[in-house]
Chain A
C-alpha cells in the first residue's frame, strides 16, 4: 500500500512520567496505544483523531497529542489536505465523508460585528439589581384582535412555545448521538424551561416524559413518525434541509441501526435508514403547506409547526414562501451547522453564512409585512452568548445550539462522528463507549452552559440599556461592523463601526 502512504496527521508524545498503566489503551477507541507483552507502550498514530481522551485520562498527565512535523514540500495551491483526499479517493472510489460543521476558512460574520453599550445617556441596567426579561415566545402572532359583543378579547392566539431564554437544543437524532446524550439534552431542556429536538430518529419511549420540552422532527424518511410521536412533543419540526448538507438527504448506515435505535426509528436492525434528499411529496410551497396542515390537522392545531431549511442562495424567497405556507416558525441553518455525517464537499462548499441569511430574511419578511406571522430560529454555529445577542439583533427570535451543546457534553471536536467510535460516548452506539457519558453530569453541564450564557446575555442587554429580549430583536442599531464592505453591511443591515 505504499502508493497510498500518508503520514499520520497527529503523533503521541509520552513523557517520562508515563507509568505504563495502560489506561490510554483502554480509553482509545481507535487502537492508537498498544501495551506490549513486555509492558512497554507502543503507538500506532495512524488512528489518532486528536480527541484527547487518552490525555484527559492519563493519571500522570504524560500524554501530549502533537501535530506531525512530517513535512511535505510547501505548496500554497496543493494543500496537504487536498493531496490526502485525492489519495483516499484514488484508493477507494468513495465519496469523502466527514462530520461536524464546515471547518474551512470562510468569513465568520459574527466575528466582524460588535455590540453597542450605553454611555452617559440612556443608562445601562444592572441585571443583578433589576429585572431582565429573556422569556421568548415562538409562534405566529396574530395581526388583529377579535372581541365579542361585550368588548372582551377573544383569545385566538395560535400555539406558542414559551422559552425561559432564547436558546434551544438543535435536532440531533437518537442514532447519530447516544441514548445518554439524548437523556442529558432532554433533562436539561426540562430543567431550563427550553426545548430539545429529536431529530429524525424517532423518540425513545423513555423520553416521552419530556414531551412538554420536546420538539419532534418529521423529515423525508419519516422514521419513527406516528400519531403518538406527533402528539408527544410541544412542537413539530419539518426538516426540509440542514446547513451542513443542503440539498442532500441523510443516511444512517445499517451498522448503527441496532437495538434501541432500531426500535425507536422503527427500522429493522442492520437495514440502512435512508432519508431521501427531497420530501418526494413536496415540490412546491403549496405542497409544503399541505404537509404543514396535515400535521396541524392530525394534532388538532395544538402545536406550532417549524420548518427548518438550510441557508442557501435564495433563502429570502424560500423563507417568504414558508411564512405563507402556514408554518409558525422558520429555522434557518447556516453553512457552518454541524452533522453526524456529511459528504465533505457538500459540508464545505454548499450553503451560505447564517448571519447574511438571517439578516436578509428578517428584512424581507418585514418588507412584505409578514414578519409577525412567523418566528425565526437561527442556527449554524452559535458559539457563545455574544453570537446569540448578535443573532437576535440581526432578527432572530431564538437560536438553536448543537455543537456547543455537544462540547458541553465532552465533545472535543475531533470531527470523527461518522466513524461511530466517539471516545466521549456522544456520537456512538457502542455500549462500551456510550456509558462514558454520564447523563447526570451531562445534564448538569448543559444547564450550566445555558445558565451562564443567559447571565451573559442579560449583561450585554443591560449594557445596551435594554431590559427585554423583545426590544433587542431586529434592533440592528445595536450592532456595528468592522472590516466589512459596504455590500456586506447593506445585507446585514448594519452600519460600520465609527458611523
Chain B
C-alpha cells in the first residue's frame, strides 16, 4: 500500500498506516510524527524525512527510513527493527527494551539513554558514524555499538555512560574515550571479545551492504558498568 504524505496531515497519515495492510510505503514524508507508533506486524518503508517519535513503542515488524530521521526514534521500543539509511536526531532508542535499531550515518545527543534488558529482551543500537554527548546515560541493559565510520577522533561526545548500571557500549575508535564517569569500566576488546558483537555487525553489514572487513578493522573499546548498584551506599535510613 502506497501513502503519499504530501496529501495527508500527520494524524490522517498515521490512521492510514494503522488501518493499512502489512506492507506500507510512504512517499514525500516531511516531518510527520509518530509514524508506526505501537505497530507490531507491519513493514513500513519511508521516503523523505519522518518526524519525531518514529516507531515509538514499536512492538514488532520493521520500519525502513531511506533518508534521515528526526528525534526520539524507537522511544520505549519493545521489539522489531528500525533501519535508517541516513542519520538520526537526538534521544534515539530512549528506554528501549527490545528490538534493533541500525543507523547508517550519525546519531545525535542522548543516544540509547536508559535502555534496559530483561530475559530474552535485549535491545541493540548500531550507529555507523558518530554520536553526540550523553551516549548511553543510565544504561541498564542492552547493546550500543558506535562504529565511527569515517571518524578520525573518538566517535562519541562527552559524558558517555553516566549513571550506567547495566548493558554494554562498544566504540570503534583509534583512541580510548576520555573523561569517563567512575561507574564505567573501559577495556580494549580483543578478537575473542569482538566475537560477542559479530552477529549484530553482520546484520548491520547486510542492512547497508557494507563489507564486514570495514566494520571490524581497527580498535574496539568496550564500556561496562563497574557495579550493578551504583547508588547502593548513597543513603542512610532516617
Contact = CB atoms under 8 A, between A and B. Distances in A.
A280 B229 contact: no
A80 interface: no
A85 B228 contact: no
B114 A267 contact: no
A272 B119 CA distance: 16
Interface string A269-308: 0111110100011000000001101100111100000000
B93 to A, nearest CB: 11
A271 B52 contact: no
Interface in B181-238: 228-238
A487 interface: no
B117 A268 contact: yes
The contact size tier of chain A is 35 or more
A95 B78 contact: no
B53 A290 contact: yes
B83 interface: no
B238 A85 contact: yes
Interface string A368-380: 0000000000000
B56 A294 contact: yes
A230 B38 contact: yes
Contacts of B237: 97, 418-419
A417 to B, nearest CB: 11
Contacts of B75: 281, 291, 294
A392 B90 CA distance: 41
A309 B235 CA distance: 25
A86 B231 CA distance: 21
Contacts, number: 138
A293 B114 contact: no
A299 B38 contact: yes
A276 B94 contact: no
B238 A88 contact: yes
Contact of A98 (B59, B121, B233, B238): B238
Given A227-B40, A293-B33, A271 B238 contact: no
The contact size tier of chain B is 35 or more
Contacts of B34: 293-294, 297-298
Contacts of B5: none
Contacts of A94: 233-236
Given A266-B97, A293-B34, A280 B114 contact: yes
Contact of A272 (B56, B57, B71, B230): B230
A297 B137 contact: no
B165 A271 contact: yes
Contact of B38 (A223, A227, A290, A418): A227
B75 to A, nearest CB: 6
A271 B228 CA distance: 6
Contacts of A68: none
B116 interface: yes
B18 interface: yes
Given A88-B236, A89-B236, A280 B231 contact: no
B26 interface: no
A394 B113 CA distance: 40
B144 interface: no
Contact of B228 (A270, A280, A294): A270
A92 B236 CA distance: 7
Nearest to B234: A95
B138 A276 contact: yes
Interface in A203-223: 218, 220-223
Interface in B129-153: 134, 137-138, 140-141
A478 B74 CA distance: 50
Contacts of B69: none
A6 to B, nearest CB: 12
Interface string A296-328: 011110000000000000000000000000000
A96 interface: yes
Contacts of B65: none
Nearest to A265: B118
A294 B140 contact: no
A253 interface: yes
Contacts of A92: 236
Contact of A274 (B33, B53, B59, B138): B138
A31 interface: no
Nearest to A221: B114
Interface in B79-138: 90-91, 94-95, 97, 110, 113-114, 116-119, 121, 134, 137-138
B110 A280 contact: yes
Contact of A280 (B118, B137, B238): B137
Interface in A77-132: 85, 88-89, 91-92, 94-98
A475 interface: no
Contacts of B134: 280
A274 B91 CA distance: 18
Contact of A222 (B114, B137, B229): B114
Interface string B15-41: 000100000000000000110011010
Contacts of A280: 91, 94, 110, 113-114, 134, 137-138
Contacts of B230: 272
Given A272-B230, A290-B72, A298-B37, A267 B116 contact: yes
Contacts of B90: 281
Contacts of B94: 222, 280-281
Contacts of A419: 237
B114 A276 contact: yes
B59 A226 contact: yes
Contacts of A89: 236
5 contacts: A91-B236, A227-B57, A271-B140, A272-B230, A297-B56
Given A222-B97, A254-B232, A276-B114, 11 more contacts: A98-B238, A222-B114, A226-B76, A251-B231, A254-B228, A281-B71, A281-B113, A294-B56, A297-B34, A297-B37, A344-B238
| The 7 nearest A-B residue pairs measured at CB | A298-B38, A94-B236, A222-B95, A96-B238, A266-B118, A297-B37, A297-B34
Interface of B: 14, 18, 33-34, 37-38, 40, 52-53, 56-57, 59, 71-72, 75-76, 78, 90-91, 94-95, 97, 110, 113-114, 116-119, 121, 134, 137-138, 140-141, 163, 165-166, 228-238
Interface of A: 85, 88-89, 91-92, 94-98, 218, 220-223, 225-227, 230, 251, 253-254, 262, 266-268, 270-274, 276, 280-281, 290-291, 293-294, 297-300, 343-344, 418-419
